[in-house]
Copies of this chain bind each other. A is one copy, B any other.
């Protein structure tokens, strides 16, 4: 196998959310009848149930009508839009952003992550990655030939108000030459939020050991139960090399426009733009206009959306409580629940495929988020509430057929 064959054999997408139709047919241990019900795809949010920010389409159309000026922007995004967004994000994160030099608009936060990793990970560089964390993080580190150093997040039994990241292990990793630490906050897939102390410690350790930081704050606008949320970049002690990633694709349901931003150290943004120039030039010009609606939603829109999602979360958690052996730490931010199941007689990978076949319900395999999560699956509960509850009931009914 040559180097590329090997690289791409590791870079699987068959179990990635939304790719299930591409899976090769395999023999499954099917037990019992199918349970009919409305199809629910928990691999991502449902923008029909939670519609895009009102006015987004109108702003897109205005952008289209603006013509050449909006179609061809600088690679880092249109200057006027960077200025609007930088101001909003400075206020949101509590730390200033220079619109000229410290922010880039990207085709989705996935691309922001890709560019940031490309800017910071060289061959053989040690990259610290949390387990569990967003499944693409490990794939990105591998793609850029980094060496992954896993950091455990003991989220289940964490002290109250903390995410449970193992800070001793993190410092040890930093001491041993880690160059970059990448993590999401709120965490994907568990929805836990890092405490103020955890964030401050990560920032000061990174400064002390000269480690670069990438923090993915994609879900930081959807915080439940009025919890405090701490932005890494607003800390007193921060490293020189740091970038924050955010976008309007989740709570705002604007995923269909593919928009993200990264903001932080000038030299990282410069590299990201150089890379963007050969990756895809820019975020779709007309789509960039939609960022004008961001942090500018109609009065009460975000609060109502958060309330709706908190309610769906609570209903699903109440349902899980009735089934012995299942559990999930209540989501603190974002739309994910990382559900632990009792021991099953089939692998989690097969179980997910069986559930899809028998209940028309798609969930994401736990092992995508770390090799040890062999009894777990992730759901994005940004769905129609009744359909979601019914789908989880069907899933749990089928689960009983495989309980060890």
Which A residues contact B (CB, under 8 angstroms)?
Answer: 2-4, 7-8, 11-13, 16, 18-19, 21-22, 41, 44, 46-48, 51-52, 57, 60-61, 63-64, 67-68, 70-75, 79, 106-108, 110-111, 113-114, 119-123, 136, 139-140, 143, 255-258, 270-271, 273-275, 277-287
Q: How far is the CB of A351 from chain B (nearest CB, A)?
A: 23
Would you call A108 and B8 a contact (CB within 8 A)? Answer: no
- Once bound together, how far apart are the Cα atoms of A251 and B265, in whole Å? 38
Would you call A139 and B278 a contact (CB within 8 A)? Answer: yes
**In the assembled complex, which residues on chain B have CB atoms less than 8 Å from the CB atom of A121?**
4
**In the assembled complex, which residues on chain B have CB atoms less than 8 Å from the CB atom of A120?**
4
**In the assembled complex, which residues on chain B have CB atoms less than 8 Å from the CB atom of A123?**
3
Report if A111-B279 is in contact (Cβ < 8 Å); known contacts: A8-B119, A19-B75: yes
**In the assembled complex, which residues on chain B have CB atoms less than 8 Å from the CB atom of A12?**
274
Choose among A11, A44, A274 the residue with the greatest number of B CB atoms under 10 Å from its CB. Answer: A274
**In the assembled complex, which residues on chain B have CB atoms less than 8 Å from the CB atom of A258?**
107, 280-285, 287
Q: How far is the CB of A391 from chain B (nearest CB, A)?
A: 15
Partner of A74, one of B3, B22, B63: B22
List the B residue with the shortest CB-CB distance to A17.
B72
**In the assembled complex, which residues on chain B have CB atoms less than 8 Å from the CB atom of A111?**
279-280
**In the assembled complex, which residues on chain B have CB atoms less than 8 Å from the CB atom of A19?**
74-75, 277
Report if A280-B107 is in contact (Cβ < 8 Å); known contacts: A285-B256, A285-B258: yes
**In the assembled complex, which residues on chain B have CB atoms less than 8 Å from the CB atom of A71?**
47, 255-256
List the B residue with the shortest CB-CB distance to A287.
B284
Would you call B281 and A108 a contact (CB within 8 A)? Answer: yes
- Once bound together, how far apart are the Cα atoms of A2 and B123, in whole Å? 11
20 contacts between A and B (CB under 8 A): A2-B122, A3-B122, A3-B123, A4-B119, A11-B275, A11-B277, A13-B277, A44-B72, A47-B67, A60-B64, A72-B255, A106-B280, A107-B258, A107-B284, A111-B279, A256-B285, A257-B284, A258-B282, A279-B280, A284-B284
**In the assembled complex, which residues on chain B have CB atoms less than 8 Å from the CB atom of A60?**
60, 64
**In the assembled complex, which residues on chain B have CB atoms less than 8 Å from the CB atom of A70?**
256
**In the assembled complex, which residues on chain B have CB atoms less than 8 Å from the CB atom of A278?**
11, 110, 113-114, 136, 139-140, 143
Would you call A280 and B64 a contact (CB within 8 A)? Answer: no
Partner of A8, one of B41, B257, B271, B287: B271
- Once bound together, how far apart are the Cα atoms of A257 and B283, in whole Å? 9
**In the assembled complex, which residues on chain B have CB atoms less than 8 Å from the CB atom of A74?**
18-19, 21-22
- Once bound together, how far apart are the Cα atoms of A111 and B277, in whole Å? 10
Would you call A48 and B61 a contact (CB within 8 A)? Answer: no
- Once bound together, how far apart are the Cα atoms of A273 and B271, in whole Å? 24
**In the assembled complex, which residues on chain B have CB atoms less than 8 Å from the CB atom of A113?**
278
- Once bound together, how far apart are the Cα atoms of A272 and B286, in whole Å? 25
Partner of A68, one of B7, B47, B72, B277: B47
Partner of A281, one of B8, B41, B75, B110: B110
- Once bound together, how far apart are the Cα atoms of A255 and B275, in whole Å? 19
- Once bound together, how far apart are the Cα atoms of A63 and B47, in whole Å? 13
- Once bound together, how far apart are the Cα atoms of A256 and B284, in whole Å? 6
- Once bound together, how far apart are the Cα atoms of A90 and B281, in whole Å? 27
Would you call B110 and A280 a contact (CB within 8 A)? Answer: yes
Would you call B8 and A274 a contact (CB within 8 A)? Answer: yes
Would you call A279 and B281 a contact (CB within 8 A)? Answer: no
- Once bound together, how far apart are the Cα atoms of A47 and B258, in whole Å? 22
- Once bound together, how far apart are the Cα atoms of A57 and B64, in whole Å? 8
Would you call A48 and B64 a contact (CB within 8 A)? Answer: no
Would you call A110 and B18 a contact (CB within 8 A)? Answer: no
Q: How far is the CB of A165 from chain B (nearest CB, A)?
A: 24
Partner of A110, one of B73, B110, B255, B279: B279
Would you call B286 and A256 a contact (CB within 8 A)? Answer: yes
Q: How far is the CB of A205 from chain B (nearest CB, A)?
A: 22
List the B residue with the shortest CB-CB distance to A282.
B258
